[in-house]
Structure 1
Amino acid sequence: MSRNKLLLVLLGSSLLGGCAADYLNNYDTMTLASGDSQKANQLLQTVDPYNPASNNTKIEGDGARSMAVVQKYKLLPASPPPPNITVNVGNSGVVTTQ
């Protein structure tokens, strides 16, 4: 067999061997997504899965009330008075600061 024919045979067998490797990578195992085929088939057969009210683009609301809520969150709340701190100083008694 000449050298060119040998190279051609080796090249052809390596190309076909690469195709067979993918074919042989099939596994007989279960995946985490398997086991819910009935629910999947039901969802595929659903004619209109969306809520009919989702087509309503008119959002009902009161503008004055919404503005009052926004203004309430924009204003800083009044800070509460500082708490009384009680310190025990040895045997001399209790000192309270404000």
Structure 2
Amino acid sequence: MILLMCAGALSGCAADYLNHYDTVTLAAGDTQKYNSLLQTVDPLNPNSRNTKIEGDGARAAAVAQAYKYPPPPPPPPAITVNVGGSGVTQ
């Protein structure tokens, strides 16, 4: 009984060893993709060189301030209570 429990506990440790991978790491096998990316002349998007950002600085600052300090919520509507049924027509 004790021998079976020890064998069961140790079998979980050997599960990865018994997979018998042919590579050093699990990420191996992307050599062709790696070489093609390594020899790419310009891997960046051509639009990444555009340094002219369209926009208004004052408007952007106002939006940032509104985000940082949001306006207070509107007050709740007034509650009216009709006592005695005055003003009710049927």
From the CA coordinates, give the structure whose radius of gyration is larger.
1
Q: TM-score, normalised by structure 1?
A: 0.43
Q: TM-score, normalised by structure 2?
A: 0.46
Relative contact order, higher structure (CA 8 A, sep 6+):
1
